Amino acid sequence: MPTVSMTVNGKQVSADIPPNTLLVTFIRENLRLTGTHVGCDTSQCGACVVHVNGNSAKSCTMLAVQAEGAEITTIEGLSNHGGDLHPMQKSFQENHGLQCGFCTTGMIMSAIDLVKKQDNLDDASIRKGLEGNICRCTGYQNIVKSVKAAAQEMEG
């Protein structure tokens, strides 16, 4: 079995794993970081989004060995060690951008990447930027509101 090494949430990790292990499986089962969800196994829902070297990626479509040497951030790695929430996490909480919570982690990870890459986000550009994430509960209005509020804080 190959050995895979990467940095996850600022911590160096290494493990011997089967070569066909998905990154989402490695994160959830080997590292026990269960905030990254498995929703559809076909890259349609976005519940598994993490940051790989600073860019959002659907971890259900990536093998763990492809992340060799990479810097991975999961939802658990967003808040600082003192427990303060990332502005996007806080905004989702304050603006009711979640209901059941299943899509929330992937939605937050995608939204952070969107805010980093695009200035002057309006409702339409937020909706377009989050097309790869499915929420079956909220109707998206409060998600859009959450992203807009967090974007102002992150940019300001």
Give the mean model confidence (pLDDT) for residues 26-42: 92
pLDDT digits (tens, 9 = 90+) for 10-20: 999 999 999 99
Task: Kindly indicate the confidence band of residue 149, based on its pLDDT and cuts at 50, 70 and 90.
Answer: very high
pTM for the structure as a whole = 0.92
* Higher local confidence (pLDDT), 137 or 143: 143
Buried b (16+ CB within 10 A) or exposed e, 3-17: ebebbbbeeebeeeb
What pLDDT does residue 81 have?
64
pLDDT digits (tens, 9 = 90+) for 79-119: 866 678 999 999 999 999 988 888 899 999 999 999 999 98
Domains, the chain: 3-77 (3.10.20.30), 87-155 (1.10.150.120)
d(C-alpha 29, C-alpha 16), whole Å: 13
pLDDT surpassing 90 at residue 48: yes
How far is CA 77 from its chain centroid?
10
What pLDDT does residue 30 have?
96
What pLDDT does residue 70 have?
98
